[in-house]
Amino acid sequence: MEYSHRYQAYPTDEVAERLEHHLDVHRQLYNHVRWDYENSPADDKPSEYDQNNKLPEWKQRWPIFAELHSKAAQATVARFYHNLTVLRKLKEKGDNVGRLTRQAPSEYRSVTYNQSGFDLDEKRGHDTDAYVRFSQIGWVKIRYSRPIPGHATIKEVTIKKETTGEWFVSFGLETDDAVLPAKPDMDSLDASNSVGIDLGIQKYIHTSDGTTVEWLDLEDEYERLRREQRNLSRKENGSNNWEDQRRVVAKVKRRIRRKVLDYQHKITTWLVREYDAVFVEDLNVQSMLQGDGNARNKQDAAWRQFITLLEYKADLYGCHVVQVEPKGTTKECARCGVATAKPIWVRDHSCPACGFETDRDANAAVRLRLTGSKITA
């Protein structure tokens, strides 16, 4: 099982300056990898392996690249090829995408150390602090809010500078499945210990046992964001005042993201602790966001993030999470199974066959549980 822990970092001014420098050198390396790829013949494009083999030559020709740790440099090469793979997949799906572009200083804000080039000292500093050493950069203090589990192996470490100017360190962790709680047998699941989850429109989620979770109220945060963005638009682009206000806007956006993430953590933890199996919609999130109406609410919900949290916590708590094709779940009656077409604005389910009436999303949640149970039986 792979997952990550993220901590706020507090580098000294001297270390922060070195971090900024290394970020920029990694950015230059990324752009050079891109240039080398783009300028190679169409029938002889270099692979990630080929580019890694060129690193020693590049370090001799451009000594600035020699400042980088070898594993971190390879991670930067891997970053380009990962982005290239994502771009190809989007094109294959028919999305209208362009080409990978050069990274500006404001766009390249993180460096990853894979397998080596870093050390974690959990005993240095106060009880709530720890220190991470990055090769050729130095020690960075982090707020060690939750210790890394003893059964976890650190696979990589990423340090990132957010648009707010704050630094964060993320540990990529791996835990052997053998030490995780055993999951119950799907064939013998008690229906009362499983639940269907409909990701709603009027409510955040509906569960098949009748529980509803309200949307997170972010109106005050959005009002402040609008106000601060208006203030930013009045500043001269690129001036010191503009940069100060840009950071204010970034901090308001960060506050919104953190509130959403905290809300999702609480909901997903409750679900995996309460149930042995959770059946959730397998939604095409991008098509949801491209539709008219409710786009901002759906973006706030960050469904993909919600499901990702649910899946990784399920492994930690011994719970099954099954994504179910939602087609037909809003039309088929949860009691008799008869399908009844209804437009999106009709929020109630009323079955003409058996007379069963309930909220449309509540009906869908029950159908998800029933459908998911059949799939896994």
Average pLDDT for runs of 10 along the chain of length 377? 92 97 98 96 95 97 96 96 93 85 93 93 85 95 91 94 94 87 81 85 86 91 96 93 94 93 94 93 58 51 83 90 82 83 79 83 87 74
Residue 299: the pLDDT is 53
Signed CA dihedral, 326, 332, 333, 335: sign only: negative
Write the DSSP assignment of 55-73 as a string of letters.
Answer: HHHHHHHSGGGGGS-HHHH
Question: In b/e form, how buried is each residue of 350-368, taking b as 16+ CB within 10 angstroms?
Answer: ebeeeeeebbbbbbbbbbb
Query: pTM for the full model?
Result: 0.77
- The domain locations on the chain are 1-180, 186-376
Phi and psi angles of residue 321, each rounded to the nearest 5 degrees, phi first: -120, 120
Tell me how many helices (H) and strands (E) the chain has: 9, 14
Distance CA 265, CA 145 (A): 16
Q: What type of residue sits at position 19?
A: L
Distance CA 142, CA 54 (A): 35
Q: What is the CA radius of gyration of the chain?
A: 24
CA distances from 215 to 204, 268, 287 (A): 5, 15, 21
Residue 285: the pLDDT is 45
CB 48 within 8 A of CB 81: yes
